[in-house]
Amino acid sequence: MRISLRAGEKIYLNGAVIAVDRKVSLELLNDATFLLETHVMQAHEATTPLRQLYFVLQLLLMDPAGAETTRREALAMFSKLDEAFDDLSIVGRLRRVRHALDHGKLFEALKTLRALFPEEDALIGSGPRDRKERMTA
């Protein structure tokens, strides 16, 4: 897998934070867990149930030392999410997220969750802009 980074970007690779000072391409030649800086969610952005799950799952990539505790927290969240969503499409994709987690495919799990954010926003009745306005009001 080839990853291109711009000057100043970071990548979280197997728990290490790597920052580059110039444009660079990395080629991963074996299995590695990574998260691009552009996909990192800050704690204050975890404002909905699916975003909270995303935040917890990203911690598994960013802090492998705390993975056991973080994984338990994520598993507890799945139980609550199964009860919270009626939409079969969302429930089915949450099962895919859980399957990816169970098989160590965290990047796939995060990608699937990111794709669910617009649907969750529609169900909740607020988009990212609405949430930001409520938080600053």
Distance CA 80, CA 50 (A): 11
List C-alpha distances in Å: 53 to 3, 28, 45, 49, 122.
Answer: 25, 27, 12, 6, 18
Q: For residue 76, what pLDDT is reported?
A: 93
Q: What is the pLDDT of residue 85?
A: 85
DSSP string, the chain: -EEEE-TT-EEEETTEEEE-SS-EEEE--S---EEEGGGPPPGGG--SHHHHHHHHHHHHHH-GGGHHHHHHHHHHHHHHHHHH---HHHHHHHHHHHHHHHTT-HHHHHHHHHHHHHHHHHHHT--HHHHHHHHH-
pLDDT, tens digit (0-9, with 9 covering 90-100), for 57-90: 999 888 888 889 999 999 999 988 988 888 888 9
pLDDT above 50 for 129: no
Q: How far is CA 123 from the centre of its chain?
A: 20
**Tokens (6 digits) for 41:** 């969610």
- What amino acid occupies position 82? D
Cα–Cα distance measured from residue 107 to residue 23, given in angstroms and rounded to the nearest whole number: 23
Greater pLDDT, 9 or 131: 9
Q: Is the pLDDT of residue 120 over 80?
A: yes
CA distance 51 to 5: 25
Question: What does pTM read for this prediction?
Answer: 0.81
